[in-house]
Structure 1
């Protein structure tokens, strides 16, 4: 790959692509904090405008189905994956019979992931099956050491356990490579070299503007974005792509977009294609849609290792309700599905469109009470988690090592 042709100090300031401008009335969304300003949660249309991405509309979904010959995933149809950058270009590549690869990741911050963490991985698995393309999964255990009070060995252990959670989604080692930063980067010179190339393209002022870093932040935070950006360029993995330049599609939650705005801005100077993106909404916390589900609060999240009793208790006790104060008032006025967390969870995990529409009508008309809606959510999420746990129980250390092994995979 061509190196930069002039010294970095002589280069003009990098025009950060569609740098978001926010005011105090806007929702707060960055890679570490998500806070909505209203009971209905994040205003995703406003976020699209602020981030400068494109809405996934009906026409794009129709084109997706035409190009792939497959029905759109319910995450697409329901606006759970709602925004994109250059998804049309990926579809054009596929139409022409040309290859690309998928890249997504996870910052391990707990021994077990929660159901909200599964959304990008479920969709990534579907994309991989539809397009028959290779997948790179990055575990940013180094990020968690830098941002949290974690020791390196603790973060590495979490990454290994989270890898088991991810593999249980159904990924295949034949076309999937998983790595954790703290172990892999020292074993792959090409990856580190791309990190340095990216670092040369972005000034301190720019990284402060994108990520909001302050003068008291440790220097590791300043350089970390180059680590998350590097997998978006195929030359970071010569053992997989043989130094060939392949475009990349990144399925991720919208809070990770700043990393890839930066990646897209440096791509031309690295003589690499800009990574394309498809963004998901957040699965909200049990207490309300203003916050995403968090691994740091056990009462805000349904974890993948929760028992049926724990799931039932969490939803019944903590799930924010859109119902009225009394049964009589609810029968008369109906419930509000735009703020009700049980209904929001059903939009993610209940695949039956007809049944979801029935529940919406029954709750909004007052025919269905809050307790009954919570029971519907429990009856959908509990078997989903139990089926997942059965798959997870079969994931061995040896299986994880097969995904982590530096090797060629099917391209």
Structure 2
């Protein structure tokens, strides 16, 4: 791939725009492909992000996803933390690409955003990129639309405060999203898109980074300049990098959004990205306890030894054991209890089957609570209405973006 003629944010502190493709490190991380054994520290060098310090983690609302460094790096985190500490306006943006049913890996950033909202009063924006999924997936508009409706029910079931939450669907909110994206696209070159994302199959996907930048800037376009933090898995980081570049170039009343970058929840087959797009099994948010148990018992990779006797003698390895990693990521909140489980497993006192059953119990309890809230929802149109952008918010966003809000002349 040729070197780009223009690079996002060419300051020393900003990320390189080298393509995220297979190289000597033998792994690829982009919004559309994750391959190989991921070296998370090398990703920081590639993306130009900074590891979170202990002091920064301690300033966030307490949560195992941060305390245990699942979210381990970021950009402009201090600006967000300072605003949250003094009660100044601050926002979170975390979204969903509705190409299928939501699984555990999809929903964890949403629950983290809810924790921030409850602890500090953050405004949360949740965009659903149904247009991008139509362009990137071999699915019809009808299919994407059905996934969008089901995903919206799962987003609503998380339990955000409607007064401080806005849910945006690209095709349904095109009157706001599209004009702003066009404005931003003027400052986004094909060379930049190619450098950050690699080759794209369609001009639609080449344009989509402008739509994603619109998502990330909406809190400021609606309510004024404020620190914005985007908690995402590292494969979505290119969207933030491009948006930061566009925000620096475009004469809009916005600051660059910050980022909070997370590791992938491992797939059941072993370490790596948890994905519903391939043949690997996953635990969906609508799974019942029997399905959860069957999936984990049958498919979950363990760190146990080859035989029971060897496991009793030498112990297991929790660092590669997927049921333990699920507990570590989210489903065992108590650090002391988690360490006890790990110690028992290493000592051979806890068997892999017993560890699986513990994970099954915790995940099933979490899903039961989520599904209860989901079942209590009324019609989607009624439930969604308090979370939609108001007419006034739409006008303000367009005006701040310098987009005419009506026909003139």
Same structural fold, with TM-score higher than 0.5 when normalized by the shorter chain? yes
**Counterpart pick for 2:46 among 46, 50, 55:** 50
Report whether the alignment pairs 1:206 with 2:192: yes
Report whether the alignment pairs 1:153 with 2:135: no
Report whether the alignment pairs 1:301 with 2:282: yes
* Secondary structure, counterpart of 1:286 in structure 2: coil
Question: What is the CA–CA distance in structure 1 between the aligned matches of 2:371 and 2:219, rounded to whole Å?
Answer: 36
Distance 1:133 1:236, change over 3 A: closer
**Counterpart pick for 1:120 among 86, 97, 109:** 109
Question: What is the CA–CA distance in structure 1 between the aligned matches of 2:82 and 2:294, rounded to whole Å?
Answer: 47
- The Cα shift of 1:297 comes to 4.7
- The Cα shift of 1:254 comes to 1.3
- The Cα shift of 1:269 comes to 1.6
State the TM-score, normalized to the length of structure 1. 0.87
| TM-align CA RMSD | 2.0
1:14–1:201 Cα contact (<8 Å) kept:
no
Counterpart of 2:35 in structure 1 is 35
Counterpart of 2:404 in structure 1 is none
Distance 1:235 1:304, change over 3 A: closer
**Counterpart pick for 2:122 among 127, 133, 136:** 133
1:362–1:368 Cα contact (<8 Å) kept:
yes
What's the CA shift string for 1:64-94, capped at 9, x where partnerless?
15xxxx5x21111101111111111112233
After superposition, residues 8-407 of structure 1 pair within 5 angstroms as: 13-16=6-9, 17-19=14-16, 21=18, 23-37=23-37, 42-62=38-58, 64=59, 72-110=62-100, 112-185=101-174, 187-188=175-176, 191-214=177-200, 217-234=201-218, 237-238=221-222, 241=223, 244-271=224-251, 272-290=254-272, 292-297=273-278, 300-348=281-329, 349-396=331-378, 397=380, 398-404=382-388, 406-407=390-391
What's the CA shift string for 1:181-237, capped at 9, x where partnerless?
11111x22xx433312321112111101100124xx111010001101112224775
Structure 2 unaligned segments of length 5 or more: list them.
394-409
Q: How many residues align?
A: 377
Question: What is the CA–CA distance in structure 1 between the aligned matches of 2:279 and 2:291, rounded to whole Å?
Answer: 10
Distance 1:299 1:395, change over 3 A: farther
Distance 1:235 1:48, change over 3 A: closer
* Secondary structure, counterpart of 1:374 in structure 2: helix
* Secondary structure, counterpart of 1:107 in structure 2: coil
Structure 1 unaligned segments of length 5 or more: list them.
1-11
What's the CA shift string for 1:143-174, capped at 9, x where partnerless?
11001111223212211210110111111221
- The Cα shift of 1:100 comes to 2.0
1:363–1:369 Cα contact (<8 Å) kept:
yes
1:156–1:180 Cα contact (<8 Å) kept:
no
1:120–1:280 Cα contact (<8 Å) kept:
no
Question: What is the CA–CA distance in structure 1 between the aligned matches of 2:164 and 2:88, rounded to whole Å?
Answer: 17
Question: What is the CA–CA distance in structure 2 between the aligned matches of 1:370 and 1:97, rounded to whole Å?
Answer: 46
- The Cα shift of 1:249 comes to 1.5
2:91–2:219 Cα contact (<8 Å) kept:
no
1:322–1:370 Cα contact (<8 Å) kept:
yes
Question: What is the CA–CA distance in structure 1 between the aligned matches of 2:354 and 2:219, rounded to whole Å?
Answer: 53
Question: What is the CA–CA distance in structure 2 between the aligned matches of 1:235 and 1:312, rounded to whole Å?
Answer: 40
Distance 1:394 1:298, change over 3 A: farther
2:125–2:167 Cα contact (<8 Å) kept:
yes
Question: What is the CA–CA distance in structure 2 between the aligned matches of 1:262 and 1:83, rounded to whole Å?
Answer: 18
